[in-house]
Chain A
Amino acid sequence: MTSAIHDIGYRHYDGPRLGRGYVRRSLYLHNLRAAWGLGRPARSKVLPFLLAAIVLLPALGSVAIAVATKMPGELIRYSAYAIYLQVVVAIFLATQAPVLASRDLRFHVVPLYFSRPVGHLDFVLAKLGAMATALFVLLAAPVITLYIGSLIAKTPDRGTQALEAAGALVGCAVFALVLASLGLVIAAFTARRGLGVAAVIAFYMISTAFVSMLQGIAEARTNFTLVGWLGLLSPFNLVDIVQVRLLGAELTALGAPSGIGGGLAALAICVAIVALAIPILGRRYRKAGLS
């Protein structure tokens, strides 16, 4: 079984072996905690929790207004929330993705992980899963807050509300996966945290500003089909298309291609982003630190 090259008489370990599943779980948990700064000095906790507070604040305000004025219509729409606060979400992604992706590279500890029974895939999936979970928590908390608010404010048609909130939660999961994939891939290309932050935010700003400008031009020329299809090129608009066409939400972003076809195209792009991110990250970490 364990073929020994040298057996110089040390005592063998014959306790339980916890195996790959355990490694994967531990890595995932470790990365998830790191994404929120838990188990790290207070300095690292400030930013994620401050940003989470900023994200949650409008939801709380909206609930307070709706309850005080007894006008449930005042509540922010569930599916629109992530898009209204996209800048803050993007900053969260930009500051926390490098925490997961760049630190191991910078301190050259990746080979130490791979000297244990950790596959490249496990390592990458743990990081991706942890980042996506952290983002999902960030995005889902205000949606749940709004839903609780709608229950307190006694909104009519409970059924529709529950359905919309559930749809928005699925939307949050898609947001989380797509954003985490993009953020980690970009951040993994540099070992420097500051540069990683700047690179992720620059990607977000360029894609969003560029696409919204082009959409503005297309709209001015009344080419609304083009407005919709251009939306596929910016991350937040892309996921909103999935929400609108496949999850029955109202449109928040600038445009969406019409019909189920547009939604499926957007979903296909989302899946492609996640599916491509895994091998790219795997390649990046396989070679890291061995030179």
Chain B
Amino acid sequence: MNSTIAMITFRAMLGRRRAVLLFLLPGALLVLALLLRVTGTADLDISANVLQALGVATLLPLLALIAGTGVIGPEIDDGQIMYVLTTPVPRRTVIITKFVVALVLVVGFAVVPVTLAGLILTGTTAGVVPAYAVAMLAGAVAYTAVFTALAVASRNAVAIGLIYALVWEALLASFAPAAGTVSVQQWSLSIADALTGASQIDSSVSLPLSLTLLATVTVAGVLLAITRLRSLTVASAD
């Protein structure tokens, strides 16, 4: 961890327009949760559905994508990363710092608001909300690592991440269950599945396998990012 890099990254992420995006997404979810609560339509089925569809399947990957690529992608794009790389800070430290910053943002802007929305909707009935919170925390770590690695490896990181999160995980997994096995979302859901007896949460992957895969993906993502940053060539932007 390097506090200067962390501070600069935080400032870049929370400055002006990017921050609007970060606040808008969870804000919309909270408004919806309040609306459901006020109109009294929030039974356990609907709430679990909202948490699942909006929280776990949409908000978490989207925020992880914005934060994970945002902490390092723009700097590589316009060559500013050179100012960091020419200091005697190890590349390892650069990546780990950026990863931690991104993770803090994802937890702050996705995991906490979705958990709040869950509490507004159901309270703590059947332990659904705490289960989701833990699952999303695990998912946040894995997603952030993957998207940070993607941002170092490719210039089209955001688009590739979108195709993965919205097409692969959401569309393909519902048609071809085999694709669901390779999905961070399903892995983190299996944690939620194990933590609560509520029938609303269902995952296609077994718990030990998911935990192993989550850990592997996280470590592999961070390692890949570090290796790629070691041999980074700053080409002209397209």
Q: Let me know if A118 is at the binding interface, CB within 8 A.
A: no
Q: How far is the CA of A41 from the CA of B236 in the complex (A)?
A: 12
Contact B18 A197 (CB under 8 A): no
Q: For chain A, residues 58 to 103, give those with C-beta under 8 angstroms from any C-beta of chain B.
A: 87-88, 91, 94-95
Q: Which of B25, B32, B74, B170 contacts A192 (CB 8 A)?
A: B74
Please, how many residues of chain A have a CB less than 8 angstroms from a CB on the other chain?
35
Q: For chain B, residues 12 to 33, give those with C-beta under 8 angstroms from any C-beta of chain A.
A: 17-18, 21, 24-25, 28, 32
Contact B159 A206 (CB under 8 A): no
Q: How far is the CA of A220 from the CA of B40 in the complex (A)?
A: 12
Contact A206 B74 (CB under 8 A): no
Q: Given A190-B17, A202-B62, A205-B62, are A213 and B54 also a contact pair (CB < 8 Å)?
A: yes
Contact B21 A198 (CB under 8 A): yes
Binary per-residue interface labels of chain A (198-233) against chain B in the complex, 1 for a CB within 8 Å, 0 otherwise: 110110011001100110110011000000000000
Contact B171 A202 (CB under 8 A): no
Q: Which residue of B lies closest to A205 (CB)?
A: B58
Residues of A within 8 Å of B32, CB to CB, are: 210, 213-214
Q: For chain A, residues 155 to 208, give those with C-beta under 8 angstroms from any C-beta of chain B.
A: 189-190, 192-195, 197-199, 201-202, 205-206
Residues of B within 8 Å of A197, CB to CB, are: 158-159, 162
Q: Let me know if A145 is at the binding interface, CB within 8 A.
A: no
Q: Let me know if B214 is at the binding interface, CB within 8 A.
A: no
Distance in Å: Cβ of A271 to nearest Cβ of chain B: 26
Interface of A is mostly: helix
Contact B39 A217 (CB under 8 A): yes
Q: Let me know if A12 is at the binding interface, CB within 8 A.
A: no
Contact A43 B36 (CB under 8 A): no
Q: Given A91-B159, A206-B24, are A195 and B70 also a contact pair (CB < 8 Å)?
A: yes
Q: How far is the CA of A152 from the CA of B171 in the complex (A)?
A: 29
Contact B28 A221 (CB under 8 A): no
Distance in Å: Cβ of B64 to nearest Cβ of chain A: 11
Additional 11 contacts, C-beta under 8 A, given A43-B238, A213-B53: A40-B238, A50-B163, A87-B167, A94-B159, A95-B159, A194-B70, A194-B158, A198-B21, A201-B162, A213-B54, A221-B41
